[in-house]
A = this chain, B = another copy of it.
Amino acid sequence: MFDIRQIAIFNALTPQEAREISPYFATERFTKKEGIFSEGDTSDWFYIVKRGKVKITKLSHEGKEIILEIISPLDFFGGIAVMRGFPYPANAIAMEDTEVLKISRKNLLSIMDRFPSLMYCLATNIGDRIKGSHETLKSIALEKVEARIASLLIKLCDKAGEKVPEGVAINMKLTKQDIAEMVGTTVETSIRTMSKLSKAGLVSSKAGRIIIKDLDRLKSLT
């Protein structure tokens, strides 16, 4: 059985406590590109990615998308809205076939009442995310596209990097469209920039994954 203490925000629980609260979690599966919730929906559920990837997005009035965050296994999403009781402020969409754990708002709040340490873990996790969001904000507002893409690749390398003979592979299937939507540019510019970085020997791609071949030179662009 899945031990919920694998999830960072629950890892301070004792085995006994983890067993007690486990029944409150349900599993749900989503196929690639399927919506999990939409901006404005009532925030009934707190989600944790068990397997797969989820993107948190917002749309402009003309329907252009920006990816605010990518949620990897064992990370939660929807948490802020659930805690505050306001509608989800963004969309959550499966980026690949994804399995999530979910717990209802009511049950989450009563578990938090029993285990105040959970609140600390949640608060610090949200704090880390706002730090990331501020970094992205700075980068989109002030830096050129090349520096923005380089920063993004370095961030993803930290988050989902895997050593391979050629360098570090980003363990995530990312399209040029995804990259464009994470740095606030067009697909054309994203393609052009990735191809420039590739020709310069900084990155390559293999079986749909991006490989960072020269992290130091990539860092020098940011």
Instruction: Name A residues whose Cβ lies closer than 8 Å to a Cβ of B.
Output: 58, 60-61, 64, 66, 68, 79-80, 83-84, 89-90, 112, 116, 119-120, 122-124, 126-131, 133-138, 140-143, 147, 183-184, 222
Q: Determine if B130 and A84 form an interchain contact, defined as CB atoms under 8 angstroms apart.
A: no
Closest to A60 in B: B142
For the complex, would chain A's binding face be called helix, strand, loop or mixed by DSSP majority?
helix
Q: Are A90 and B123 in contact (CB under 8 A)?
A: no
13 A–B contacts, CB within 8 A, in A order: A58-B137, A60-B138, A61-B222, A66-B142, A68-B137, A80-B131, A83-B124, A84-B124, A89-B131, A112-B120, A126-B130, A133-B137, A141-B183
A80 touches B140 (CB 8 A): no
Most chain B beta carbons < 10 A, residue from A66, A79, A141, A183: A141
- On whether the beta carbons of A134 and B68 are closer than 8 Å, the reply is yes
